[in-house]
Amino acid sequence: MRPAIKVGLSTASVYPLRAEAAFEYAARLGYDGVELMVWAESVSQDVAAVKKLSRRYRVPVLSVHAPCLLISQRVWGANPVPKLDRSVRAAEQLGAQTVVVHPPFRWQRRYAEGFSEQVAALEASSDVLVAVENMFPFRADRLFGAGQSLERMRKRGGGPGPAISAFAPSYDPLDGNHAHYTLDLSHTATAGTDSLDMAQRMGSGLVHLHLCDGNGLPADEHLVPGRGTQPTAEVCQMLAASQFAGHVVLEVSTSSARSANERETMLAESLQFARTHLLR
Asked whether residue 146 is domain-assigned, the answer is no
Rg, Å, the chain Cα set: 18
Range(s) of the domain holding residue 172: 6-138+152-277
Instruction: Please give the helix or strand (H or E) that residue 111 lies within, else none.
Output: helix 109-124
**Percent of the chain residues past pLDDT 90, beyond the cut:** 88
The pLDDT of residue 157: 53
Domains in the chain, number: 1
User: Closest by alpha carbon to 141, among 162, 156, 157?
Assistant: 162
User: Domain for residue 144, yes or no?
Assistant: no
List all residues 6 or more positions away from 99 whose beta carbon is below 8 Å from its beta carbon. Answer: 63, 64, 65, 66, 84, 87, 88, 91, 128, 129, 130, 131
pLDDT averages per 10-residue partition of the chain, 280 residues: 95 98 99 99 99 99 97 96 99 99 97 98 99 88 53 54 82 96 98 96 99 94 98 99 98 98 99 99
Strands (E), 1-113: 6-10, 33-37, 61-65, 98-101
Per residue in 207-241, pLDDT (tens digit) is 999 999 999 988 899 999 999 999 999 999 999 99
**233 in any annotated domain:** yes
Q: What is the pLDDT of residue 42?
A: 98
The reply to whether 176 falls in a domain is yes
Measured distance between the N- and C-terminal CA atoms of the chain, rounded to whole angstroms: 9
**pLDDT score recorded for residue 219:** 87
For residue 1, being part of any structural domain is answered with: no
Q: Identify whether the C-beta of residue 199 lies closer than 8 Å to the C-beta of residue 183.
A: yes
pTM of the model: 0.93
- The reply to whether 232 falls in a domain is yes
Q: Is residue 143 part of a domain?
A: no
145 belongs to a structural domain: no
CA separation for the pair 143, 273 (Å, rounded):
33
Query: 116: domain CATH number?
Result: 3.20.20.150
